[in-house]
Amino acid sequence: MEPLHKTYLLKSPELPPLIQSPLVHYSTMLKDKLKLPDKARRVFPDRLGSLVSGFNDKEEENEDSASETEVGKELEILLPNASGSGEGSEDDYVEKIEEQRQSGIRQGPEKEGTGLVSVKEVIAADDKRSDLEYELSQMEINLEKLQRIADTGLPEGGGLRATVWKVCKQLLLGYLPPSRDLWEKELSENRQKYSKLKQELLLSPSQFTRIKDESLKSNEQSADNDGDGLLRRHEISQEDHPLSLGKASVWNQYFEHTEISEQIDRDLQRTHPDMKFFSGETSFSRKARPTEEISPTLLIAKVNNKSSFKVNDVMHFYLQEAMRNILLLFSKLNPAIRYVQGMNEVLAPLYYVFSTDPDEQNAVNAEADSFCCFVRLLSDSVDHFCQQLDNSAVGILSTLSRLSELLKANNEELWHHLEVTNKVKPQFYAFRWITLLLTQEFNFQSILRIWDSFLSNPFGVQDMLLRVCCAMLLCIRSRLLSGDFAANLKLLQHYPEINIEYLLQVARDLSPDTSSYRLSL
Amino acid sequence: MVLVLALGDLHVPHRAPDLPAKFKSMLVPGKIQHIICTGNLCIKEVHDYLRTICPDLHIARGEYDEETKYPETKTLTIGQFKLGLCHGHQVIPWGDLDSLAMLQRQLDVDILVTGHTHQFTAYKHEGGVVINPGSATGAHSSITYDVNPSFVLMDIDGLRVVVYVYELIDGEVKVDKIDFKKTTTSHSAH
């Protein structure tokens, strides 16, 4: 890949004249404010990338898409060069670009703060959408470019978010491969795997015994059905009856899981009760509830005859059942952690995004897709849920101490004030932030926006999560510094509303997590 | 998947002190959705014990029951099946299939559960089933002393019912299974 792109390197000198003019004088101001070592910025590709995409959106709207991809590829090579080498002109270039970006985006939140939706922003949003659509329509998806765009927030509607999340999540962990023609195959394979899993694990014992009987005793049953008289008794083993207490009994395992199942049901009732999607009964479910078990595709086929109901109404009807199945299946596949309260909160945004996809095919299979992505998302943080691992190097306590270290590295004053003066340890407030991936701290739309950045971070969700947590602390710094233990704890446990773009920007600017530098792959 | 426990003729404390220990260890709360009891408990304490296993309890009056308020017969619908309940001392001759069939037609049920004979039986008759769960404590009946403790658990799933028969023979619990499928013929108008 390297040699090909080097030919494009020659084009780069064209850009600097555009960049230098308006915003150079901000650079000194910013340097003082941020107090960050310049070297740190260069190590992370995503920053440079977001700079480029920002400029693509605003400055090069009218250029055709070919040049966009070229610029993208240029900067990809620049990154490895910038991190290692000491070539003078490139270093300056990189530095200036980053300053411009920071100043440009710093201006952004101020503009939004005034509450006006400027024309520029509308144009930017449209451009972003068309960028995304262009990216997704390519045969071989350029993951990094997609991630950079996603990092700046995905537009609502049009199913773009669903697709990008699947791609991002998968590209890091393998759900949808980068080449588009493999998508169909992957999707259908995974959906089939899911329904097979469901059949194996979620079967009720009576269905299980029925299937077993049908395979064994098909000829004997016909004898029973003819004529009246004494019914024949068949002796069965000690494991096969419903009151069996044996460990291997299907029935016993089923009853052991009812406790978990009940807890899942209770939690699902409490998931986002303010959102109509999760709680309310739509008109469809009230009028047309089917009496027998029927799959979503069949139901949609039936429903299409009555045009007043839409696909999304149908999907909502299956919401509770679908989410319950996903969580139950997960708990059965992971007997070590089973179900922990809060997993429903992590599942909710995933399922919402996938089932509100306007593409019918995707919406119908939202359950299977969100199961796969849920498993992958949790595999990062599964160690946080296991109690035995609490004190180990991968458990929740070590993650919390990493958060502490990150805060100390970025703002020692605040760290000292919180940890030493106030004795507000991260365990008190950040536990929920980290295990639930911030789903309980912000409103739903903000959660979706934050998750865009999480999923598009090339270093993994956990890395970005810690940064955002640290950023959350930094953003309310002044209030924390002036508060005592009780006030600070109260403030942190009910985090105030904040401009999300600003928060994410602060998170991106943080100096790296120096204690353990690992790529979560 | 609805689990229905059918038992009766315990005759506690007159003829038997309590359910066998092995039966009690199996009857754990939380698994069973309904209990139908043919009668002759005879005292309130047994009623309370059955209540702890499952709150949905249906009882028909047996001739030795001390609680007079239980009904003589009872019908209930569980899933696709109609169940009828009666103690059985009213049906003469005791345990006679044809007479029980008369009662089944009268109550218009698919599954008729009666007791009094203290012997487990299960008949298929005219598209319906007549079940006698026997005596859960093994108490002697008016006819015989040779009684094995037994009770019945029905698993109603759609149009199919699987009847699990639990019998205590020589100190060991033996479980048998009976399959019954309801034919979906509607009643022809006579």
Question: Of A91, A89, A97, A77, which Cα lies nearest the Cα of A39?
Answer: A91
pLDDT of B130: 92
pLDDT at A10 over 60: no
* Structure confidence by residue, pLDDT tens digits, A467-493: 888 888 888 888 888 888 888 888 888
Buried b (16+ CB within 10 A) or exposed e, A470-491: bbbbbbbeeebeebeeeebbeb
pLDDT of A64: 36
Cα dihedral B18, B20, B21, B27, rounded to 10, equals -90
Q: Strands B57-59 and A229-230: what pairing?
A: unpaired
Average pLDDT of chain A to the nearest whole number:
64
Average pLDDT score over residue span A370-394: 76
Kindly report whether the peptide bond that precedes residue A470 is cis, defined as omega within 30 degrees of 0. Answer: no
pLDDT of A65: 35
Contact B155 A213 (CB under 8 A): no
Q: How confident is the model at residue A228 (pLDDT cuts 50, 70, 90)?
A: low
Amino acid at A190: N
End-to-end CA distance of chain A: 22
**Contact by Cβ (8 Å): A515, A405:** yes
Query: From CA A107, how far away is CA A124, in angstroms rounded?
Result: 15
From chain B, pick out residues whose CB is under 8 angstroms from the CB of A237. 175
Task: Tell me A240's DSSP state.
Answer: S
Query: From CA B47, how far away is CA B182, in angstroms rounded?
Result: 31
Q: How confident is the model at residue A33 (pLDDT cuts 50, 70, 90)?
A: very low
Average pLDDT score over residue span A229-238: 73
Contact B174 A229 (CB under 8 A): no
Q: Both tokens of residue A515?
A: 């204690």
Average pLDDT score over residue span B170-185: 83
Q: How confident is the model at residue B189 (pLDDT cuts 50, 70, 90)?
A: very low
Across the interface, of A213, A224, A236, the residue whose CB is closest to B176 is: A236
Contact of A216 with chain B, judged by CB distance below 8 Å, is answered with no
End-to-end CA distance of chain B: 34
Contact A255 B129 (CB under 8 A): no
Q: Suggest the residue from A206, A234, A260 to mutate for an interface test with chain B (most B CBs closer than 10 A).
A: A206
pLDDT at A66 over 60: no
Q: How confident is the model at residue A34 (pLDDT cuts 50, 70, 90)?
A: very low
Q: How confident is the model at residue A133 (pLDDT cuts 50, 70, 90)?
A: low
* Structure confidence by residue, pLDDT tens digits, A316-371: 556 777 888 888 888 888 877 788 888 888 888 888 877 776 666 666 677 777 88
Average pLDDT score over residue span A23-45: 42
pLDDT of A70: 37
Contact of B159 with chain A, judged by CB distance below 8 Å, is answered with no
Average pLDDT score over residue span A409-432: 81
Query: From CA A52, how far away is CA A149, in angstroms rounded?
Result: 9
Query: From CA A166, how far away is CA A136, in angstroms rounded?
Result: 11
From chain A, pick out residues whose CB is under 8 angstroms from the CB of B173. 238
Query: From CA A426, how far away is CA A420, in angstroms rounded?
Result: 12
pLDDT of A279: 64
pLDDT at A417 over 70: yes
pLDDT of A145: 61
pLDDT at A106 over 60: no
pLDDT at A29 over 60: no
Average pLDDT score over residue span A197-202: 76
pLDDT of A503: 82
Average pLDDT score over residue span A457-462: 73
Radius of gyration from C-alpha coordinates of chain A: 27
pLDDT of A197: 80
Q: How confident is the model at residue A137 (pLDDT cuts 50, 70, 90)?
A: low
Query: From CA B52, how far away is CA B34, in angstroms rounded?
Result: 12
Question: Of B97, B83, B86, B45, which Cα lies nearest the Cα of B67?
Answer: B45
Contact of B129 with chain A, judged by CB distance below 8 Å, is answered with yes
Q: Both tokens of residue B161?
A: 């019912």
Nearest chain A Cα distance for residue B61, angstroms: 26
Query: From CA A57, how far away is CA B186, in angstroms rounded?
Result: 70
What's the residue count for chain A?
521
Query: From CA A179, how far away is CA A336, in angstroms rounded?
Result: 35
Q: Both tokens of residue A255?
A: 């009853």
pLDDT of B99: 92
Higher pLDDT, A19 or A236: A236
Contact B177 A234 (CB under 8 A): yes
Least confident of A46-60, A346-360, A415-429, B161-175: A46-60
Contact B177 A241 (CB under 8 A): yes
Q: How confident is the model at residue A280 (pLDDT cuts 50, 70, 90)?
A: low
Higher pLDDT, A228 or A500: A500
Contact A233 B122 (CB under 8 A): yes
**Contact by Cβ (8 Å): A58, A18:** no
Average pLDDT score over residue span B123-139: 89
Q: What percent of chain A has pLDDT over 70?
A: 49
Collect contacts of A72-75 with beta carbons under 8 A, ≥24 apart. Answer: A72/A142, A72/A144, A72/A145, A73/A5, A73/A8, A74/A5, A74/A8, A74/A9, A74/A11, A74/A12, A75/A48, A75/A49
Q: What angle do CA B141, B142, B144 make, to 5 degrees?
A: 60
pLDDT of A41: 40
pLDDT of A506: 82
Higher pLDDT, B106 or A51: B106
pLDDT of B151: 93
Q: Strands B57-59 and B34-37: what pairing?
A: parallel
Contact of B31 with chain A, judged by CB distance below 8 Å, is answered with yes
From chain B, pick out residues whose CB is under 8 angstroms from the CB of A257. none
Q: How far is CA B97 from the centre of its chain?
A: 16
Query: From CA A77, how far away is CA B17, in angstroms rounded?
Result: 87
Contact of A210 with chain B, judged by CB distance below 8 Å, is answered with yes
Q: What percent of chain B has pLDDT over 70?
A: 96
Query: From CA B155, how far away is CA A250, in angstroms rounded?
Result: 14
For helices A444-456 and A461-475, the axis angle rounded to 10 degrees is 130
pLDDT of A511: 67
* Structure confidence by residue, pLDDT tens digits, A249-258: 778 878 878 8
pLDDT of A236: 74
Q: How confident is the model at residue A53 (pLDDT cuts 50, 70, 90)?
A: very low
CB pairs under 8 A between A and B: 82
Write the ipTM. 0.77
* Structure confidence by residue, pLDDT tens digits, B47-84: 999 999 998 999 999 999 988 899 999 999 998 899 99
* Structure confidence by residue, pLDDT tens digits, A206-224: 777 777 777 775 545 444 4
Contact of A275 with chain B, judged by CB distance below 8 Å, is answered with no
CB-based contacts of A44, cutoff 8 Å, min separation 6: A512
Query: From CA A494, how far away is CA A138, in angstroms rounded?
Result: 43
Average pLDDT of chain B to the nearest whole number:
89
Q: Would the pTM count as exceeding 0.80?
A: no
Question: Of B87, B82, B78, which Cα lies nearest the Cα of B155?
Answer: B78
Question: Of B72, B125, B86, B126, which Cα lies nearest the Cα of B6?
Answer: B86
Nearest chain A Cα distance for residue B26, angstroms: 6
**Contact by Cβ (8 Å): A467, A438:** no
Query: From CA A421, how far away is CA A416, in angstroms rounded?
Result: 7
Q: Strands A229-230 and A234-235: what pairing?
A: unpaired
From chain A, pick out residues whose CB is under 8 angstroms from the CB of B125. 228
| Burial degree of B186 (CB within 10 A; 0-12, 13-18, 19+) | exposed
| Burial degree of A47 (CB within 10 A; 0-12, 13-18, 19+) | buried
pLDDT of A92: 43
Contact B176 A213 (CB under 8 A): no
Nearest chain A Cα distance for residue B95, angstroms: 13
pLDDT of A156: 58
pLDDT at A174 over 80: no
pLDDT at A164 over 90: no
pLDDT at A138 over 80: no
Query: From CA A285, how far away is CA A280, in angstroms rounded?
Result: 10
Nearest chain A Cα distance for residue B97, angstroms: 9
pLDDT at B38 over 90: yes
Q: Both tokens of residue A434?
A: 């980290």
Average pLDDT score over residue span A420-442: 81
